[in-house]
Amino acid sequence: MINDSNESLVNVYRIIRDTPEELVGLLAGIQGEYHALEERTERRDYFMKKRRVFNEEHPDDITRAALFIFFMRTCYNGIYSVNRKGRLSVTFGTGSRARILEEELIRFNHKLLQGVIILDGDYRQTEKYAGEKSFFYFDPPYKPVNEAGACTSYMPDDFDDDCQIELAGFCKDLGEKQMNALQLRPPSEESWETFFDNLYAGFHIQRLSIFRSVCSIAEKRETVNELLIRSY
């Protein structure tokens, strides 16, 4: 089972699971049109035109899935973002002729997703699908080191400290029912260092060194610490 609060991403999963060949066809067309453009300004105009289609013309699910993949391949730093109205706000990237269609990857994931329940919305809805051998993996928005570095607005509603506390409570309830819960999240620094240590007291907490490639300036990307938190 897969659940995510990003309905557009969940739509991509569903299209890959159910109608992969139609998606391949649409992406091939988009890639052909995009790669035929010689100038960066032309590719930027094409990007913005497609973004308007996505936001304003209510395309069908397969078209939305193809456009979503196109944006993630060509937007700045591969960072997904929406504004407070829930409209896609990703910005144009370098303008290079990025590879937009990966047929074999789509077909491979199509096979993996057969029989998978795909949900969009609140993580709490996943509990009713749990069995004795269920394993939960959570990847919530990062708690920023400072407000300027915040990367919590993945969706219109921020995932703030109160949300983090609620998620910890949910994980503790799962642990009491003998269900494994795993979480990956970065720790904050200095004065915030103990936020997750206190929140997940009694869990197994492991610090990892990770190279972060999003939510940062490309030239200044560096290794950061993250937390792997387990109930087992």
Q: What is the pLDDT of residues 173-190, one digit of tens each?
A: 887 765 666 665 555 555
Q: Is 162 found in the same domain as 72?
A: no
The answer on 85 and 53 residing in a single domain is yes
Q: Which residues of the chain, if any, have pLDDT below 50?
A: 148-150, 152, 191
Q: What is the pTM of this model?
A: 0.85
In this structure, which long-range contacts are made by residues 151-157, counting pairs with CB atoms below 8 Å and at least 24 apart in sequence?
151/214, 151/215, 153/81, 153/82, 154/5, 154/6, 154/80, 154/81, 154/82, 155/5, 155/6, 155/82, 155/86, 156/82, 156/83, 156/84, 156/85, 156/86
State whether 127 and 175 are in the same domain: yes
Residue 148: inside a domain: yes
CATH classification of the domain holding 91:
1.10.1020.10
State residue 213's pLDDT score.
63
pLDDT of residue 87: 92
CA distance 80 to 135: 27
Residues 97 and 19 in one domain: yes
Is residue 195 domain-shared with residue 175, that is, in the same domain? Answer: yes
**CATH number, domain containing residue 135:** 3.40.50.150
- Please check whether residues 60 and 142 belong to one and the same domain: no
- Give yes or no: residues 126 and 98 share one domain: no
Q: Total domain count for the chain?
A: 2
Clarify whether residues 106 and 174 are in a common domain: no
Q: In this predicted structure, what is the pLDDT of residue 232?
A: 81
Does 117 map to a domain? no
Whether 60 is covered by a domain: the verdict is yes
Q: 23 with 91, same domain?
A: yes
Domain hosting 42: range is: 2-112
Residues 102 and 129 in one domain: no
Q: Is 139 found in the same domain as 93?
A: no
The C-alpha torsion from 103 through 107 and 109 to 110, rounded to 10°, is: 140
Q: Tell me: do 98 and 129 sit in the same domain.
A: no
